[in-house]
Structure 1
Amino acid sequence: MKRLLAPLVLVTLALATGCASQVLLSPEDRQKVEKDLSTGPTSVRYLKASSYLTPFFGDASKRLLTAHPPEEVRLLNDTQGNPINPGAVQAMLPAGTKVRVLKVEFPTAWVMAERVLYSPRTQPWVYLDIEGAPPGAPVVLVLPPMSKSREDFLAEVDRHLLPQDPAPRIAKLQPRFQEAIKQKKVVESMPEAAVEMSWGMPERISRSLDGQQVRQEWVYPGGKRRVFLTDGLVTRVDEGTAPAAAK
């Protein structure tokens, strides 16, 4: 009984402080995901979009990988409900950079009790070894917690980490678009696939028909950055200030 007392106390404390498990996947699916991603050839992946390395909020022992600038990161809120900036950009890694999945960590009650309070501790973390990244603390990709199956979770990983090297597709782009992706920029006439490689997927997309033309507006978190496309090609890029709130 004495040997069981400490673990029972820890679990009780975790539940009492709001650290109930946030995992929707079954234990069997979690084991399959961990095996799928951290062993064998599927552990080798490639960045789908040019991404930043930043601090990991209040946890100095890790670094965050994100396709969005720090001011657009929407992973953790303060007590007023406002998004917390994880910290200044430390490095930028272009789309197609090779990575290896080291492990997947799901937010069980036990795991959350051990995570730093001011971190996105209620979400799954994927630990990565990134080719060419500056040396430092382990790098973590934070994923949404809504996945209910192994297939859902792997599809979410694919939104960030490609299983196939995108180099052949990137090589088919015009040199100026290839350079823009490396510099995480969006330029006029860029095809939408290249926009996604550079800036990542937007928060929302509005589509409309103008005669036979399909017009799109890609809006990134916070509404500051917007990309306008016609028939899949960029016509305008807006990096101005976010629009004022309606009164």
Structure 2
Amino acid sequence: MKRLLVVLLVLLGAGCKSHTQIAPDDRALLEQTLTGPESNRFLRLSMHITPFFGDASKRLLTPYPPEDVLLLNDTQGKTVHPGGIEATLPAGAKARIRQVEFPTAWVVTERILYTPRTWPWVYVDVEGAPPGPPLVLVLPPHLKKREEFLAEVDRFLSTQDPAAKLAAFSEPVREAIRQKKAVTDMPAEALEMAWGYPETVRRTLEGTVRNEEWIYPGGRRRAFLSDGRLVRVEEAAAPALNLSPGSK
């Protein structure tokens, strides 16, 4: 029986390769660092909570609306969406990193099929989140070095309290950030805190005026800024959500 178990484990490992390029020593150091003194952080951006695709034991923490979450495709190449928005947490909310999970061969075999199981997962507690399964922040799979991983975590979970930065904005802008809305004339930094990071930025110069077009994942949302201030936005209608089989 023991020999059979060993054979099965070997076959499982052979059928599912590791999807992390970070060295084992660096992974151990990252886990120790991020869940130690640096575990206490703040949301750098306002974030949505949604279901975690087909895994009811977790919830997704994301800066984007579910229809713009591009982490997973089905067998036909269509984007699989995590599920509808359950709650929204404001930028500046206190957060704590509970666990860092890398997509090693063994970890991937234990994750549910219709989830972004080949990406790194960071488990986070956030003040003000409604009770429920743990929140997971999904990070890009291409990270190769410890410094890259730390920088990516910091893009969403800051070690610095942004309270002073938020206080410098007008109350309408602060409220827009809390609700993940865009309002005319809000500073670029405030728009980033509200809508999250654009996928692409196109820059042009008209005389002395610096124009930017921020294009968000999927191209459905676009923001137009002049000299660092929001002028207007374009938002196409949200498509029907294509949910994973485990969510139906």
2:29 to 22, 32, 35: 32
Counterpart-to-counterpart distance in 2, 1:30 and 1:154: 11
Aligned match for 1:98, one of 91, 94, 99: 94
Superposition map of 1:97-136 within 5 A: 97-136=93-132
Give me the whole-angstrom Cα distance separating, in 2, the residues matched to 1:62 and 1:233: 37
Structure 2: segments with no counterpart, 5+ residues? 239-248
> Partner of 2:224: helix, strand, or coil?
strand
CA deviations over 1:166-212 (Å, ceiling 9, x no partner): 11100011111111101111111100000010000011111111111
Of 207, 230, 236, the residue aligned with 1:234 is 230
Which amino acid counterpart does residue 11 of structure 2 have in structure 1? T
Identity %: 55
AA of the residue aligned to 1:159: R
Kindly tell me: are residues 11 and 55 of structure 1, through their superposed partners in 2, closer, same or farther at Cα, counting changes over 3 Å? farther
Q: Does 1:141 align with 2:137?
A: yes
Q: What residue in structure 1 maps to residue 170 of structure 2?
A: 174
How many residue pairs align between the two structures?
A: 238
Higher relative contact order (CA 8 A, sep 6+): 2
In the TM superposition, what whole-angstrom CA distance separates every residue of 1:91-110 from its partner, at most 9, and x where no partner exists?
Answer: 00011111100010000000
- RMSD (CA atoms): 1.3
Aligned twin of 1:150: 146
Q: Which residue of 1 aligns with 2:42?
A: 46
* CA-CA distance at 1:9 after TM superposition: 2.0
Q: TM-score, normalised by structure 2?
A: 0.92
Aligned mates of 2:205, 2:228 — CA distance in 1: 13
Asked if the contact 1:43/1:100 (under 8 Å) is kept, the reply is yes
2 CA distance for matches of 1:7 and 1:214? Answer: 63
Displaced runs of 4 or more, over 3 A:
2-5
